[in-house]
A = this chain, B = another copy of it.
Amino acid sequence: MSEQPDAPEAAPGADAAADPALFAHALRIAEALVFASDRPIAAAKVQQALPPGVDARAVLTSLLATTAGRPVELVEVGGGYAFRTAADLAPALTRVVEVPRKLPRVAMETLAIIAYHQPVTRPEIEEIRGAALSQATLEALLEHGLIAPRGRKEVPGRPSLWGTTPRFLEQFGLQGLGDLPRREELVNEPGGLFQAPRLQAGGQPQG
């Protein structure tokens, strides 16, 4: 692409250009070497494998041109050269594997508390979990579409109220919130100590 074989002013590759057979052999070596290398290979390293008098840069530049459009193309990456399958073949080659992720523990607990105590504010969630709640956790749940804001609570600061979404019901295979087991079945709440901020989610099967 860049080297003109008859360009007389081409400094480094000049003598190589004079011997096409030698240059062709160097091309073969360079191609095989880049192929065999386990990481992008620098021009200087390629140079070591080439016959004396052939400039690695000229060879690699030529190889860039000849492999362009091939199913596997030479590319320059990270200070070296490597072969990469052509981008247009990606749809035919890549196999998409679904790897469902687990929610982190904090997110799962937060989601459970929102499910049982909705609509509930962040400070209330922190009170119920007995631990601080990061914004990132709420955002992760939002991103998965599992929770949604449900207006604001009319107390100083007007904190957002959170509730679960239809996507939440779908994820956990619930017809409605009324399908959740009652809280008392899960935890022995000491009667007087813990005043539930909300009435029990299990009790009010709406939706």
Contact in complex: B92, A29 (CB < 8 Å): yes
Stretch at the interface among A12-20, A82-90, A119-127: A82-90
Q: How far is the CA of A31 from the CA of B71 in the complex (A)?
A: 7
Bound together, the chains give a CA A64 to CA B178 distance in angstroms of 40
Q: Which 5 A-B pairs have the closest CB atoms?
A: A32-B71, A28-B71, A32-B85, A31-B71, A49-B96
Which residues of A come within 8 Å of B, CB atoms? 27-29, 31-33, 35-37, 45-46, 48-51, 70-72, 83, 85-86, 89, 92-93, 95-97
Quick one: copies of this chain in the complex? Answer: 2
CB-based contact A72/B31 at 8 Å: yes
> Which residue of B29, B46, B72, B96 is within 8 Å of A89 (Cβ)?
B29
Residues of B within 8 A of A27 (CB): 71
Knowing A35-B83, A83-B35, the reply to whether A29 touches B72 (Cβ < 8 A) is: no
